[in-house]
């Protein structure tokens, strides 16, 4: 069935009523994402948004598109499975720092090195929001919370460097305090053919009194242009303690599905009898 | 010369020394000679070294059991005889690799020692010592040597004339040695009509083949014995039809990739064994909660934990029936033969999509890895049914901004729109949700949608949810999976040797259990005996939940890592029968 489609607008993307706390950084991430999708002329039915569990992971409920609100830490594998089956869809993954760098960290590294053509927005507030304020993998050293009462004795995880070191082809950091820049970054990430990581610094106004809007406004260092090599990108991230802003590194490389070189037809299975000729052909292996 | 119609043969040696392929060559040769061949491999969780053996049983009738005894044993290492001696049939012949040729009667068997390696080296190919032993095996049953030639030509086609010639020479040598030293022990395996209507196939291959034919185009998994072959078979076959497998980072990814692919509209599966099954349990709940159709294969091995990684068991039944938090609809099927593995796997995809829920397909190590002889595939038996997937036209009729993916319907199954459908936009959710997929905590909706999910699978049925044999007998032996092979043999033996008829019931659909259909074969019987490879009699406990059989049922169990021997089970069944008879007499 061919469908006449009007140009998409923000209204098309309006989903359920958000329940986030007023001022939560996640509002801006959603605004940036929706704006980017509209700017790219994509319709909600051409997009799948997959999330894990957390305040951030509620985004697919609040954005009208195909979506899957999965379980804690498993958004990336669900999203990659969907992309394999429906390569024509634009697959976006959203979730928190706990979801992606804690419980889902194993999947994160492998998604990076697999380089499928999907976009991963980590809505990083350095806290477990939905479970009411525990220390997260990106909470600063000595961060005090209900679970690190004498201060966090671990050191924060550096998702950007992990991605860069493992061959990510698009790595960026955005900030909920700058929706305009974020929209540009997300647009570029979606357009990028391959795995794109956008770590969005997205303050939790309720539980994190350290990593606030003001904190980031004060500390973020602008990276106006992607850096020439991944080594240089890692160096810059390290130099500024991760407080960088912009697209850090981009590399053109065939994505996973292109490399597999398969004529993708996973969904084309029609109801009806099995194909007898194929059965006979395969049976020969067993005779 | 004595004519025989069955042969039980075994080759034993060190792992990594071609024991498997030696067994396979003989198995395939006998299969082409017209016999029904069933094999069983015993191996350890290491790659080089350690004893391994390959058992083969050739019969003129179909069977699923590789047999209790051995007529000819090839002992290619020192451990073969001590480990396998108890299986030797009186009068068996053992061919052993040794320093010099010697033939002597041992206690109950004939030991024939030959310096196989030296002979092979003399022939110019030390690697061909197994082929000499194979030639001897063929000669001992008067198999025409051309049967081996045909196989060798095909097997070594790519390696060239020289390799073919040296392997043929090795086989010839085996025949010559038997004629020279063992002529009086030769028998004649009766030639049977050859058939092109049969396949020689393993349970893993049949499962993969069935899934492939059902339209499964994606398999994500993590390697594990005894399930890996399913992934490997699919890896070889899927790309040509626009699909792929993915060896992913762990078993959680195995199931969640499959869930994603299924959500997007592919027929998708994951395959694993117990340890992987444990990791998958949270995502199993997600598949059910989001009403996403996937197929999960659990090829069971001996647990718990890492357990005996290369040994057989049927101890994940409870896990498959109950695992995951909360309550979910699920369908659990368990093919009772290698042939059924094809059809049950194919139907699993239909059930998954028709009922929009996960289907767990149970296998066990013996069912997975044994090969046997089955009739060719009946292409018409399982037509593909994709359930309630809606087209754009159909979705448009609802006229909804947010498509109600979890719409309440009479049968509890909601129309399903696939991503890309312009009129089906929705979010699937692992949180409790209303008809539109959005989170809700409304107690009324929660209750209603819980009922919808749980009740929709009630009518799910495999086309053959169970098999019955001698269903009118008042004692029934009940089993799942590979237990069918032993039960059929036990029933045969009791009938032939003791004139006793016991029934056999082989359940292929464990959940939802087809209680009404099963009732005639379970209720009102004198005795129900389950035959199962686990400690707690899990199948028996599951049946007792559904039938009032507590005072007349028992389980014959074994959990030493090995499959049942017919002799042992037949003996125990007779004991149970005696007990029942004595109790009745005392009563009278
Ligand atoms: C397996 C599992 N463990 C724990 C939880 C509880 N849980 C829900 S959200 C969450 C952390 C969320 O933190 P993050 O991903 O950073 O998202 P945020 O709420 O901060 O946006 C946890 C631990 C769960 N849902 N599932
Ligand atoms: S708790 Fe924090 S992360 Fe969650 S909605 Fe409120 S402000 Fe946002
Ligand atoms: Mg967080």
Indicate yes or no: CB of A283 within 8 angstroms of CB of B425: no
CATH number of the B200-375 domain: 3.40.50.970
Residues of B in contact with A3 (CB under 8 A): 392, 422
CB crowding B181-209: b at 16 or more within 10 Å, else e: ebeebebebeeeeeeeebbbbbbbbbbbb
- Fold of domain B3-189: Pyruvate-ferredoxin Oxidoreductase; domain 3 (3.40.920)
CA of A125, closest atom in ligand 2: 3
Tell me what pLDDT residue A5 has: 76
C-alpha B330/C-alpha B336 separation (Å) is 19
Cβ of A267 and B244 within 8 Å?
Answer: no
Report the alpha-carbon distance of residue B169 to residue B165 in Å, rounded. 6
Tokens linked to A76: 């990336």
CB contact under 8 A, A283 and B199: yes
Kindly report the number of other CB atoms within 10 A of residue B316's CB atom.
Answer: 24
pLDDT band at A102 (very low <50, low <70, confident <90, very high): very high
- Which of B425, B426, B431, B439 to probe the A interface (max A CBs under 10 A)? B425
> Cβ separation of A272 and B215 shorter than 8 Å?
no
> Would you say the CB of residue A24 lies under 6 angstroms from ligand 2?
yes
**Does B425 touch chain A if contact means CB atoms closer than 8 Å?**
yes
pLDDT of the residue at B48 = 79
Domain boundaries, chain A: 16-253, 256-287
Longest dimension (CA), chain B: 87
Is B164 in CB contact (< 8 Å) with chain A? no
| Nearest Cα residue to atom 5 of ligand 2 | A20
- Residue owning the nearest CA to atom 12 of ligand 1: A54
Q: Give me ligand 3 centre to Cα A99, in Å.
A: 7
Neighbouring C-beta atoms of residue A93, cutoff 10 Å: 33
* The predicted structure's pLDDT at residue B230: 98
| B290 at A interface, C-beta within 8 A | yes
Are the folds of B200-375 and B466-587 the same?
A: yes
- Which atom of ligand 1 sits closest to the CA of residue A204? 20
Q: How many residues does chain B have?
A: 588
Interface test with A, best of B259, B419, B439, B440 (most A CBs within 10 A): B419
| Dihedral, A173, A179, A181, A184 alpha carbons, nearest 10 | 90
Average pLDDT of chain A to the nearest whole number: 97
Burial class (CB in 10 A: 0-12, 13-18, 19+), A206: middle
Q: Is A62 in the pocket of ligand 2 (CB under 6 A)?
A: no
Using a CB-CB distance cutoff of 8 angstroms, which residues of chain B are in contact with residue A106? 249-250, 253
**Tokens linked to B493:** 């033996």
Q: What pLDDT shows up at residue A1?
A: 52
- Confidence (pLDDT) at A212: 98
Q: Cα–Cα distance between B89 and B69 in angstroms, integer?
A: 6
Atom of ligand 1 nearest to the CA of A130: 19
Which of A18, A22, A24 to mutate for ligand 2's pocket (most ligand atoms within 8 Å of CB)? Answer: A24
Q: Where are the beta strands (DSSP E) in A141-271?
A: 170-175, 196-201, 221-222, 244-250
Q: Which CATH code of 3.20.20.70, 3.40.50.920, 3.40.605.10, 3.40.50.410 fits the domain covering B466-587?
A: 3.40.50.920
Beta bridge partners of B73: B10, B94
Token representation of residue B474 = 């008042």
How confident is the model at residue B155, as a pLDDT?
Answer: 85
Cβ neighbour number for residue B464 with a 10 Å cutoff: 16
Q: How many CB pairs under 8 A join A and B?
A: 217
Is residue A207 lining ligand 2, measured as CB closer than 6 Å? yes
Q: Give the SS3 label for residue A126.
A: coil
Q: What is the pLDDT of residue A36?
A: 98
Q: Pick from B257, B376, B429: which is nearest to A80 by CB?
A: B257
Superfamily of domain A16-253: Thiamin diphosphate (ThDP)-binding fold, Pyr/PP domains (3.40.50.970)
In three-state secondary structure terms, B143 is coil
Task: Find the length of chain A.
Answer: 287
| pLDDT tens per residue, range A57-73 | 999 999 999 999 999 99
Q: Is the pLDDT of residue A170 over 60?
A: yes
Which stretches of B392-537 are DSSP H helices? 392-398, 443-455, 483-493, 515-522
pLDDT surpasses 60 at A208? yes
Nearest residue of chain B to residue A60 (CA atoms): B427
Domain locations along chain B? 3-189, 200-375, 466-587
Q: Is A264–B242 a contact, with Cβ atoms under 8 angstroms apart?
A: yes
In DSSP notation, B457-477 reads GGG---SSSEEEESTTSSEEE
Query: Could you tell me if the CB of A20 is within 6 A of ligand 2?
Result: yes
Task: Determine the residue of chain A that is closest to B342 in CA distance.
Answer: A279
Using the structure block, give the residue that is written with the tokens 């099963």.
B518
Question: What's the pLDDT at B43?
Answer: 83
Distance A125 CA to ligand 1 centre (A): 12
Provide the percentage of residues in chain A whose pLDDT is more than 90: 98
Widest pairwise Cα distance in chain A: 73
Q: Which atom of ligand 2 is nearest to the CA of A21?
A: 6
Predicted pLDDT at A197: 98
CA distance B46 to B60: 35
Which strands, in side-by-side order, build the sheet including B475-479? B466-469, B503-507, B475-479, B527-532, B553-557
CA B548 to chain centre: 30
Do the chains contact at A270 and B384, CB–CB below 8 Å? Answer: yes
Q: Cα Rg for chain A, rounded, in angstroms? A: 20
Q: Tell me the mean pLDDT per 10 residues along chain B, length 588.
A: 97 93 95 96 82 96 95 96 95 95 95 96 91 97 95 89 93 97 97 95 98 98 97 98 98 98 98 98 98 98 97 98 98 98 98 98 98 97 98 98 98 98 98 98 98 98 98 97 98 96 98 98 96 98 97 97 96 96 88
pTM recorded for the entire structure: 0.97
Q: At residue A172, does pLDDT exceed 70? A: yes
Residues of A in contact with B386 (CB under 8 A): 269-271
Q: Are strands B51-59 and B36-42 parallel, antiparallel or unpaired?
A: antiparallel
Helices (H), B141-227: 146-155, 161-181, 203-213
CB interface of B with A, residues 177-196, below 8 Å: 196
Q: What is the ipTM of this complex?
A: 0.98
Q: Give the whole-angstrom CA distance, residue A125 versus residue B486.
A: 60
């Amino acid at each position: 069935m061919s469908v006449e489609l009007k140009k998409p607008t923000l209204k098309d993307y309006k989903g359920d009523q958000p329940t986030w706390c007023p001022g939560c950084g996640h509002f801006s991430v959603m605004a940036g994402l929706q704006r980017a999708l509209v700017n790219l002329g994509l319709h909600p039915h051409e997009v799948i948004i997959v999330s894990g569990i957390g305040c951030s992971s509620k985004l697919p409920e609040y954005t009208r598109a195909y979506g899957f609100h999965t379980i804690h830490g498993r958004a990336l594998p669900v999203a990659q499975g969907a992309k394999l089956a429906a390569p024509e869809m634009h697959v976006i993954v959203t979730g928190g720092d706990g979801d992606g760098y804690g419980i889902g960290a194993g999947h994160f590294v492998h998604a990076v090195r697999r380089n499928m053509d999907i976009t991963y927005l980590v809505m990083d507030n350095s806290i477990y929001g939905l479970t009411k304020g525990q220390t997260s993998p990106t909470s600063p050293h000595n961060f005090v919370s209900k679970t690190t009462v004498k201060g966090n004795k671990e050191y924060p995880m550096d998702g950007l460097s992990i991605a860069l070191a493992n061959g990510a082809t698009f790595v960026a950091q955005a900030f909920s305090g700058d929706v305009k820049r974020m929209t540009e970054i997300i647009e570029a990430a979606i357009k990028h053919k391959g795995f794109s990581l956008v770590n969005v610094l997205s303050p939790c106004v309720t539980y994190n009194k350290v990593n606030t809007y003001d904190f980031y406004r004060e500390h973020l260092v602008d990276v106006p242009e992607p850096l020439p090599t991944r080594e240089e990108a890692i160096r810059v991230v390290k130099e500024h303690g991760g407080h960088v802003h912009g697209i850090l590194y981009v590399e053109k490389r065939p994505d996973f599905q292109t490399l597999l070189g398969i004529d993708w037809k996973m969904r084309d299975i029609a109801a009806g009898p099995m194909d007898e000729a194929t059965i006979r052909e395969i049976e020969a292996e067993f005779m | 010369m004595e004519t025989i119609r069955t042969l039980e043969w075994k080759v034993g040696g060190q792992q990594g020394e071609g024991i498997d392929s030696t067994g396979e060559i003989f198995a395939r040769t006998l299969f082409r000679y017209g016999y029904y061949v069933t094999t069983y491999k015993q191996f350890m969780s290491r790659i080089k070294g350690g004893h391994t053996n390959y058992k083969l049983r050739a019969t003129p009738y179909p069977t699923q059991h590789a047999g209790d005894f051995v007529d000819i044993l090839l002992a290619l290492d020192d451990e073969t005889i001590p480990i396998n001696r108890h299986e030797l049939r009186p009068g068996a012949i053992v061919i052993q690799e040794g320093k010099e040729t010697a033939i002597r009667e041992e206690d109950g068997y004939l030991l024939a020692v030959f310096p196989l390696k030296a002979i092979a080296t003399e022939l110019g190919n030390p690697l061909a010592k197994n082929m000499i032993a194979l030639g001897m095996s063929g000669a001992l049953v008067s198999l025409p040597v051309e049967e081996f030639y045909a196989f060798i030509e095909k097997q070594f086609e790519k390696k060239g004339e020289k390799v073919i010639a040296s392997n043929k020479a090795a086989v010839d040598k085996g025949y010559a040695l038997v004629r020279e030293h063992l002529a009086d022990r030769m028998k004649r395996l009766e030639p049977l009509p050859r058939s092109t209507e049969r396949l020689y196939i393993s349970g893993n291959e049949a499962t993969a083949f069935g899934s492939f034919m059902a339209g499964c185009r994606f398999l994500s998994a993590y390697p594990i014995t005894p399930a890996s072959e399913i992934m490997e078979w699919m890896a070889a076959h899927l790309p040509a039809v626009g699909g792929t497998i993915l060896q992913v980072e762990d078993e959680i990814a195995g199931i969640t990739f499959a869930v994603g692919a299924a959500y997007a509209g592919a027929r998708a599966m994951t395959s694993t064994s117990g340890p992987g099954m444990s990791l998958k349990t949270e995502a199993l709940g997600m598949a059910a909660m989001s009403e996403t159709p996937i197929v999960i294969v659990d090829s069971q091995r001996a647990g718990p934990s890492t357990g005996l990684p290369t040994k057989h068991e049927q101890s994940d039944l409870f896990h498959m029936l109950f695992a995951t938090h909360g309550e979910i609809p699920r369908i659990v099927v368990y093919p009772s033969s290698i042939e059924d593995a094809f059809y049950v796997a194919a139907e699993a995809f239909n059930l998954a999509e028709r009922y929009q829920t996960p289907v767990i397909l149970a296998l066990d190590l013996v069912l997975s890895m044994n090969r046997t002889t089955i009739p060719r595939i009946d292409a018409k038996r399982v037509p593909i049914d994709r359930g309630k997937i809606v087209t754009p036209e159909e979705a448009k009729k609802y006229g909804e901004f947010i498509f109600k993916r979890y719409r309440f319907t009479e049968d509890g199954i909601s129309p399903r729109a696939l991503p890309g459908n312009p009129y089906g936009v929705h979010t699937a959710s692992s949180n409790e949700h209303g008809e539109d997929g959005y989170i809700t905590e409304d107690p009324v909706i929660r209750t209603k949608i819980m009922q919808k999910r749980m009740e929709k699978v009630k009518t799910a049925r495999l086309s053959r949810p169970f098999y019955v044999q001698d269903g009118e007998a008042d004692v029934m032996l009940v089993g799942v999976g590979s237990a069918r092979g032993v039960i059929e043999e036990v029933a045969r033996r009791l009938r032939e040797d003791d004139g006793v008829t016991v029934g056999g019931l082989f359940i292929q659909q464990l959940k939802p259990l087809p209680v009404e259909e099963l009732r005639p074969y379970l209720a009102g019987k004198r005795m129900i005996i389950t035959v199962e490879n686990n400690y707690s009699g899990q199948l028996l406990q599951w049946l007792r939940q559904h039938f009032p059989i507590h005072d007349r049922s028992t389980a014959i169990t074994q959990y030493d890592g090995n499959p049942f021997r017919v002799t042992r089970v037949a003996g125990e069944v007779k004991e149970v029968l005696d007990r029942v008879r004595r109790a009745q007499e005392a009563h009278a």
